[in-house]
Amino acid sequence: MFLLSDDSWEIKKTREKGYGVFSKKEIKMGTVIGDYLGKVIRIREYDLENDKKGLYFMYFSDQAGIYPNLNEPGPHLLNHSCQPNCWIYIYRGHSLFFALRKIEAHEELTISYLLSPKDETCAPCTHICRCASTNCTSTMHLSKDKYEYWQKFQNKERKKTKRVRVVFGTNLPKLPSYPKTIPHNPIYKIMSSSVRHSF
């Protein structure tokens, strides 16, 4: 579910990556873009083979993941970039997407899919990245050290959040209220500190 006003985003065809989400006007740094809603699925029952390329399943807790309704617009439509302009903030267990920096009008909104390092379980690998950022690694898989770095960061962040109870097999309900912005997040510093930390 997008949390931006309807007049500030649109879905458009991209040259290389199918559809993507674009800003229609400037989005301020920290603005909450949307909540990753969908069906609550048990991770151990999740069938990766049926998930087109495995890119839509969002981790929720040790046991639960979220699978979005692909017929509805939402944050799952954001394409991957090695230098994304959006990031994920865990709020009451929900994955909120927010603007990592100021996003100009008509820019594509992007996120890192944060895929685990490529190994023999991903073959043939279809996770080719064509994000065209200056430090594109050509793959959506993270390197081992970036992945570990991110896991550590995320685990620390997750501990700060109170998770809502979920019912397996039902849709994750939207929260009664959402923050408009994510003002203080250590990720801003990490992501702007150097190219070395681009994902």
Q: Taking CB under 5 A as the rule, does residue 136 contact Zn ion?
A: yes
Q: Taking CB under 5 A as the rule, does residue 29 contact Zn ion?
A: no
Q: Taking CB under 5 A as the rule, does residue 82 contact Zn ion?
A: yes
Q: Taking CB under 5 A as the rule, does residue 122 contact Zn ion?
A: yes
Taking the complex as a whole, the smallest distance from the CB of residue 181 to Zn ion amounts, in Å, to 27
Q: Taking CB under 5 A as the rule, does residue 125 contact Zn ion?
A: yes
Q: Taking CB under 5 A as the rule, does residue 127 contact Zn ion?
A: yes
Q: Taking CB under 5 A as the rule, does residue 17 contact Zn ion?
A: no
Binds Zn ion (CB under 5 A): choice among 131, 142, 172, 187 = 131
Q: What is the 3-state secondary structure (H, E, C) of the chain?
A: CECCCHHHEEEEECCCCCEEEEECCCECCCEEEEECCCEEEEHHHCCHHHCHHHCCCEECCCCEEEECCCCCCCHHHCEECCCCCEEEEEECCEEEEEECCCECCCCEEEECCCECCCCCCCCCCCCECCCCCCCCCCECECCHHHHHHHHHHHHHHHHCCCCCCCCCCCECCCCCCCCCECCCCHHHHHHHHCHHHCC
> Which residues 139-158 are close enough to bind Zn ion by CB under 5 A?
none
Give the binding site for Zn ion (CB under 5 A).
82, 122, 125, 127, 129, 131, 136
